[in-house]
Structure 1
Amino acid sequence: MTAPVRPAVFAAVANLGVLVWLLVRGDDVFYGYLGGPIALTAGVYACHRIARAAGLSRPAQRFWRRLEYAGVLLLITACVAVVRANNDAGMSLWTAVPLMSGVLMLMVAFLGLPGPSRTGSAWVRATLDGLTVAVAAGLVFWYGVLDLAPRDTSLTARIVAAVVGVGGVLLLVVIGKSAAQPDSAVAPAALRVLTLGPITCVAGTFLQIAGSVDARMAVSVLCLPLTGGALALGAHLQQRALDRPGGAAPASGRSLFNLLPLLAVTAMAALVISVSAHDLTHRQRIIIVGAVLIAGFVATRQLLSLRENTVALRGIRAQQAELERLALSDNLTGLPNRVRFTVALTERLDAGEPAAALIIDIDDFKMINDTLGPAAGDQLLYAVSQRLRNQCSPGEMPARLGGDEFAVLLPAVDGAADRVLQAFAEPFTIAEQQLLLHASAGVALAEDCETADEVLRNADIAMYAAKESGKASWVRFEPRMRQDMAAHARLAGELRNGIAGGELRLLYQPIFDLVTGRIHGCEALVRWQHPVRGFVSPGEFIPCAERSGLIVPLGSWVLREACEQLARWRIERGAAAVEAVNVNVAVRQLREPGFVDEVAAVLSDTGLTPYDLIIEVTESSVVDGWQVTETLQALHDMGVRLALDDFGTGQSSLSLLRAFPVNSLKLDKSFVDGIADGADRGRLAVAAAVALLAEHLQLKAVAEGIEHQEQLERLRDMGYRYGQGFLMARPLPAADCGALMADAPVHVA
């Protein structure tokens, strides 16, 4: 038996014991009254436990604490009743004072529940409802119930009975209105069970005054045990609502307790008719009956209005629930969206519960979306969402933040990130194709953050760190990452100003004919001379430009500047000028829809032909998607020559040559290093294979990074006709490179 159920069982056993005693009781009533302390002790203990339960909102915790205090007061009442069992079985001040205090504390607990904000008129209506019920109940008790009391009943007992009885009726009104709230802080089922307390209070007061001896005895011993059982069972239902996924079920919004003011009017009408039956003339009775009929008509009209309002309110709440669902969920996947995720994370932060945010971004999703089409991309996102939903454990919440970015709210990090990312371990079947996806993820703990937005921002920073470290992995956020991100943002801002302010310049590294020693071409290389930082390495600002999107304006500037310089060399050097200039182009530029037109415009403005321009791209750029493929094909059709840079480092180099309109291959420097002495047979084999491949495909082979004479000779023997490197010339300013064109050939023998 679990701990939350045990108090309710003990209270039920206590009530059952009292019922058995009533059936077989003797003259000693002491044992009959023992059920009250036992049941109320169980109820107080249950309220104490649920008031400190994890996950319960603060208003609900305050409510159950007040019920605990009320239960203590009623427990005192029960203990006094046990002590005085054989002396006084009726109502007395000794039992009435803690009893009325307990009823008052119950009313304070229910009045303290949060509800919708009320206008002034709403408060007036609520006050009038309470006064209507209180006056009607008071008159009914005073004129009806107390009139039936034995003549030897003391005035104190009569007053206590009226106060406790009216208080119980008012408590029913308060509980009913609280249970009808659609967003009650307490489980609606628990609120309904708790009505057993005031109901037994009202019935007990009536029977204590006007009932028979057996009825008075039954209510004396059963009233408090039933209240204790209601407290224990209500706490149990609240715990079940906490354990239920999604929290407590919403209230229906309709409560019979709303009819209490109308029932009060009806009761008063009946009372007036009863009174008017004595000592009144015939005409007076007719007037009173007419007034009662009018009151009845008004009450009936109010009942119909109440029914119409209930139907309309149900429709409004259904629409509100649907709007909330649409506002808090993603239409494509059905997962919670960013707003719902942020709200859930905020709730955990406010409750002081451990939490972590895992942000997942699908690697190279754009390429898949561009290749298979948006419809297949949507199917893939839906399939990913279902995998994440199935991979998550209880207490974890997956969400789609937007695009191909997902998130999971975790109670802890240990082992969870690896387990969640197992959703990408198996291939996805989309458009009759098997796709093996990889994802980069970042994790941030909530313990060091003040807001949910800060947690998400940290997880996002960690996710980008995972992408930069090679993708298909996850990284845990560290404070230094925020500093790196801030430095990157500052560098991006300074780079933007540098492009606009003319801080960039081009150097040109000559490409030589390894047979004749003459300069054959040159590669444009961008450099940045910062006014404060000084020289900034391309290895630092080029990745920054690619991440920030500044590579597009930077690349445009390099393209135009290089073409203009070639045009100037043609004027200055004539036939001695190089036949073409090499310009590196990033994949982000190739994705731009107007890039081909931009190249055509630059060539036209500078008076060059397409043959005068060689665009260098990396192998990873070529396989980026159909957009890049179409752009490269359009450039080739225009007559612009294309070169594969860093050739040999990619994973699909040979297959690219069959589909890619390439004109030259540039052997990566990593294969040139160490081939001079022939010790690295692997590099030798790759370098020789690339030269042979270029020869058979009638492509130009260029070796990069030549730094020693032995390397040059070995490459030339392999069949490389062209090369560049520090051995022949470092990157030079435009004037020095132009002068080199008219000089004698470099020594390559």
Structure 2
Amino acid sequence: MALAAVAASLAAPRLHRATPHYPWYLLGAAGATFLVGALLRPWSVERTGWQALLGDAFTIPGYLLMALSLAGLLLARGNLQRHAIIDGLIVCVGAGLAATLLLALPAASIDGRPPAVSILAGLYPLFDAVLILLLLSLAFTTTGRRPAYVLLLSGILLLLAGDLAYAVIGAAGHLTGGRILDVPFVLSCTAIGAAALHPSVAHLTRATPTPVQTWSVRRLLMIVPAMLVPFALIPLVAQQGDAERIVLTIGGTAMIALLVARAVAAVRDYAAAQVKSEHQATHDPLTGLPNRLMLAREISRLLSTVPPATTSFRAGGEPAVWVLFLDLDGFKLVNDSWGHEAGDHLLVEVARRLRDTVPEPAMVARVGGDEFVVAMVGSRQETVTLVERIMEQLSAPVQVSSAEVVITPSIGVVGTTAGMAPVPAVAAVTAEALMRDADTAMYRAKSDGRGRWTEFDASMHERVRERVEIELALRQALAHGQLHLAYQPIVELASGNLVGAEALIRWSHPLRGAISPAVFIPIAEDSGLIAAIGRWVLDETLRQVAAWRADELLGPDFWVSVNVSPASCATPRCRRRCPRRWSGGTCRRQASYWRSPSP
């Protein structure tokens, strides 16, 4: 069985790709030395002098090799935590104290055999306690308890049970016992071999970080018994000699020191977790820049430190709070062409350039997919200079995958200077208002062409309000029949015959009058209403053509063309939808054509 366990440990790295390999090779070497020690022990106990220690000479290195193996698994996880190590040390000290006072010292006091032999017989449980310390550290650094770990823990616990049995008979003056005492060792080899052969062995070195737990129930169930060991041993030591009292004093002092260190570690870990949680809540995980929440706090802080304009004009050199809203032109094309990984690389590079360009203490934040914001205090001239530097830096080529791309920013700028107030003068300037108006200016810059920047002015509010009102009115127009179609005749020049018509949408508002399609069609595309309008136009055209045919007003070859927005009909779903509309009317397919005009 021991040979099988050794073979399994050596085969585990290749069989299940358990990395790194050396912990399993060490575990196999430990099993081999245990096997040699077990074979030599019956012979060595009958000898004297150095020959009496020959079995221990192989067994003790086995414990060292197993400890190094478990330490290798622990180090491979790469997330050693102070509280996990201290918790394991507390259990180890408690177990070691009990093994020393109850087993090692009584065994050493037996006459008629070398003291070294007796002491080693009592210290084997202490060696097992060190192994359990390392296993507990593995348990405290992960949330998963996979079968390989459970089997490995079972194997070491069985090893501890066997060593305890031999330590008990050793304290009574015997070095060997019946075959029944060897059963735990056989079962231990079986469990360790099974652990090495189980597929989950590859996960033993993969850390799953655990949340900070000061004194969880599972930890207390392991720690509290170890903490009570010194108190439980006081009555025993009171009747013993000085050696026992010294050991208990040293063990108790170590336990108190570990408890203090554990409390300090718990406080530090909790504080670190709070800092990490705060950072995650206020920073973008991809670029590490502050997010919208932290940006709003910073702008509010800047507004409280810079007095608002109290005159009709703030001098150009007087400091004000400025917000720069950046959007990357063509970012969606990079994502669609090279994938999201390339897009993420581009965002990280843009963030780096912004950090290098924007001087301290101005804040650079990422507030959306490809949207960045700069908040600063300075004069208008300083802000304009910074905007031009940002335009220059971000327009430099970026290596994405196997190609170089050039991404230009569109920037909206707003400040708290008089005449630039994002809200009426009677209202307070807020962080939300500044970011909103910088966003408005950015969209104005983007509409004027890529790679531009625009400074916000109050008239932009009127355009935004106008746009919102037209969108709301357009929804009502679609619902209440305010839209209608005009048909532009199409005449064949050679014959002068009417051969077709083009359906043109028109909108007559009850208060505004006629509103041009050049005004409301872009708004419909941006708001998503264009799909519903397109369906209405198609249905109305088919209905009208069918009515003309019923009245015999059209020739058999007369046709009508319908303009369809690319925003609503660039997908296969729209192309499938149009043929279905033919099946519900009395109009032939050849009687109507639909096309998507150039955007």
| TM-score normalized with structure 2 length | 0.50
| TM-score normalized with structure 1 length | 0.40
